[in-house]
């Protein structure tokens, strides 16, 4: 069989493939100069936007560094001097033997998979490149990984990965402006659970409520029993003094429950006043002040406040305590009324239990409540600790304070820094609180900040 070429362009693709190749002459658009020395493809070299003076400083820095001077000598002569190559450092020697270094216009370039970037050896020039890749207005204070990706296409030196991470960690503006996305500090710590009702209570205020009642109440003092989760809602006014607060607290709460052993609350001015603290000191009641987002706070009063707001939208105010006392709690697996009296509150369709079974039933209920309470804490601790880690602070360390729960920081809320500082650690209160040297906008804050 004989194949004969027949001119024609009916099938253009086949027509182009069937033509003879053009000779390698200057008339050929794809002409390749033969016998010329191979050049580094400039498409593979990352040309940065630095000025000419910067590249002159790079060339001059090679003369002051022994390794770079040896590399330029080896690549300029295009000779393999084994003795001279063996005098290089281990990392540079391995890269040289693998053919990763090239010399172009007096500047060393390091070739990786898809890039070929210049080699730096002067610490001043390295800091300049780090500043351009991280702190420049076009860089936007990138994270360590993103700064590293940018550095891959700009420059190379033996310890460039380590230096990029250290530079990002040492950038004060970067630490304050960017939010941490890893595990937060502070593992959950168990509060000493009470063994009897009304031994430990949580207290908090509910403000900005609509005016109601003959006395136009606009706030509510929420008191929650830690053991049974039984609430007491005391209507009041937002501008009540500490003296008036203590009087109606004594008349409407203490008269029914007795003295409390421990009161857990926030740092409201009424709770931290000299009158409130001194009166409870005389009565032998311990005041435990806490803050938001603290590991020891289980959110009991906040959850009860949310329940109160939901019930206000639905029920009559006189039935709120009755409704919540008859409500089922998941961590105790019983209603607050049953934990206190041994049975649920009597309703028109209920049958009252016999007196002979009350004591036995009450013991069983409280034992079951303690077991359920421990199981609930273990579950909450396991879930909390998955996203938190143990703090490693020392006295004298510089730390940053989160502005997540600070509402009095100056400036627009959307543009405020995620952290303030750095501040000096004065002491350690276990693993959940750190007293610091306050300054600036934190002077009016409590000196001890929770960890987490």
What does the mean pLDDT of the chain come to?
77
For 123, half-sphere exposure in the C-beta direction (CA atoms, 13 angstrom radius) is 2
pLDDT exceeds cutoff 60 at 32: yes
Nearest to 267 by CA among 286, 290, 245: 290
Residue 430 CB neighbours (<10 A):
10
For 3, half-sphere exposure in the C-beta direction (CA atoms, 13 angstrom radius) is 1
Per-residue confidence (pLDDT) for residue 77, from 0 to 100: 75
> Lowest-pLDDT range, 248-252, 285-289, 320-324, 440-444?
320-324
Q: Per-residue pLDDT tens for 153-209?
A: 888 999 898 998 888 888 777 777 777 677 777 777 777 778 888 898 888 888 888
CATH topology of domain 42-177: Endonuclease III; domain 1 (1.10.340)
Q: Per-residue pLDDT tens for 315-338?
A: 554 555 555 555 555 555 666 666
Cα separation, 279 vs 286, in Å, equals 11
Beta-bridge mates of residue 429: 433
CB 305, CB 206: distance < 8 Å: yes
Q: How confident is the model at residue 41 (pLDDT cuts 50, 70, 90)?
A: very low
User: How large is the average pLDDT for residues 370-382?
Assistant: 82
pLDDT exceeds cutoff 80 at 248: yes
CB 236, CB 222: distance < 8 Å: no
Sign of CA dihedral 429, 433, 439, 445: negative
Q: How confident is the model at residue 43 (pLDDT cuts 50, 70, 90)?
A: very low
Between these two residues, 318 and 226, which has the higher pLDDT value? 226
pLDDT exceeds cutoff 50 at 233: yes
Which range of 217-221, 336-340, 342-346 scores highest in mean pLDDT? It is 217-221
| Location of each CATH 3.30.420.10 domain in the chain | 200-385
Rg for the chain (alpha carbons), in Å? 37
Question: Using omega within 30 degrees of 0 as the cis cutoff, is the peptide bond preceding 292 cis?
Answer: no
pLDDT exceeds cutoff 50 at 44: no
User: How large is the average pLDDT for residues 376-383?
Assistant: 84
Superfamily of domain 200-385: Ribonuclease H-like superfamily/Ribonuclease H (3.30.420.10)
| Location of each CATH 1.10.340.70 domain in the chain | 42-177
Q: Per-residue pLDDT tens for 118-132?
A: 899 989 988 888 888
Q: How confident is the model at residue 309 (pLDDT cuts 50, 70, 90)?
A: confident
Per-residue confidence (pLDDT) for residue 47, from 0 to 100: 46
pLDDT exceeds cutoff 70 at 18: no
Cα separation, 197 vs 340, in Å, equals 7
- Percent of the chain exceeding pLDDT 90 equals 1
DSSP state for residue 254 in the 8-state scheme: I
Cα separation, 396 vs 69, in Å, equals 44
> Lowest-pLDDT range, 163-172, 238-247, 438-447?
438-447
At 383 the three-state DSSP class reads: helix
CB 154, CB 48: distance < 8 Å: yes
Q: How confident is the model at residue 265 (pLDDT cuts 50, 70, 90)?
A: confident
The DSSP bridge pattern shows strands 262-265 and 200-206 to be parallel
User: How large is the average pLDDT for residues 42-64?
Assistant: 71
Q: How confident is the model at residue 313 (pLDDT cuts 50, 70, 90)?
A: low
User: How large is the average pLDDT for residues 246-251?
Assistant: 88
> Angle 396-398-404 (CA atoms, 0-180°, nearest 5)?
130
Instruction: Spell out the alpha helix ranges (H) of 135-241.
Output: 144-152, 160-170, 172-177
């Amino acid at each position: 069989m004989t194949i004969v070429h027949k001119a024609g362009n009916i099938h253009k693709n086949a027509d182009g493939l069937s033509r003879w190749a053009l000779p390698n002459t200057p008339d050929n658009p794809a002409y390749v100069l033969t016998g010329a020395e191979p050049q580094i493809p400039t498409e593979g070299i990352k040309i940065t936007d630095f000025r000419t003076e910067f590249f002159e400083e790079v060339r001059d820095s090679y003369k002051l560094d022994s390794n770079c001077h040896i590399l330029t000598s080896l690549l300029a002569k295009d000779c393999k001097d084994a003795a001279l190559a063996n005098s290089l450092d281990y990392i540079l020697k391995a890269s040289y033997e693998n053919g990763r270094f090239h010399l172009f216009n007096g500047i060393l370039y390091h070739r990786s998979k898809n890039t070929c970037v210049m080699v730096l050896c002067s610490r001043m020039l390295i800091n300049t490149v780090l500043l351009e890749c991280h702190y420049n207005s076009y860089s936007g204070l990138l994270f360590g990984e993103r700064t590293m990706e940018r550095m891959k296409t700009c420059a190379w030196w033996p310890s460039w990965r380590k230096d990029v991470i250290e530079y990002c960690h040492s950038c004060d503006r970067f630490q304050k402006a960017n939010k941490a996305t890893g595990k937060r500090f502070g593992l959950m710590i168990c509060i000493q659970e009470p063994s009897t009702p009304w031994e430990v209570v949580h207290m908090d205020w509910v403000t900005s409520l609509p005016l109601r009642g003959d006395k136009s109440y606009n706030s509510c003092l929420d008191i929650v029993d830690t053991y049974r989760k039984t609430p007491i809602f005391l209507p009041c006014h937002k501008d009540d003094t500490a003296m008036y607060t203590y009087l109606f607290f004594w008349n409407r709460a203490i008269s029914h429950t007795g003295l409390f052993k421990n009161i857990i609350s926030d740092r409201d001015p009424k709770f931290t006043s000299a009158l409130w603290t001194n009166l409870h000191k005389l009565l032998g009641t311990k005041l435990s002040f806490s803050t938001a987002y603290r590991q020891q706070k289980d959110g009991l009063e906040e959850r009860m406040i949310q329940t109160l707001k939901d019930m206000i939208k639905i029920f009559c105010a006189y039935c709120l305590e009755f409704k919540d006392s008859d409500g089922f709690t998941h961590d105790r697996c019983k209603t607050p009324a049953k934990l206190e009296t041994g049975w649920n509150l009597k309703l028109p369709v209920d049958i009252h239990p016999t007196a002979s079974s009350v004591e036995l039933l009450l013991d069983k209920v409280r034992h079951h409540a303690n077991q359920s309470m421990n199981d609930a804490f273990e579950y909450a601790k396991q879930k909390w600790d998955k996203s938190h880690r143990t703090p490693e602070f020392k006295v004298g360390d510089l730390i940053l304070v989160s502005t997540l729960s600070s509402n009095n920081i100056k400036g627009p809320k959307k543009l405020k820094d995620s952290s303030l500082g750095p501040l000096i650690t004065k002491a350690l209160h276990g693993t959940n609180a750190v007293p610091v040297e306050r300054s600036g906008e934190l002077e009016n804050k409590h000196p001890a900040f929770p960890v987490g």
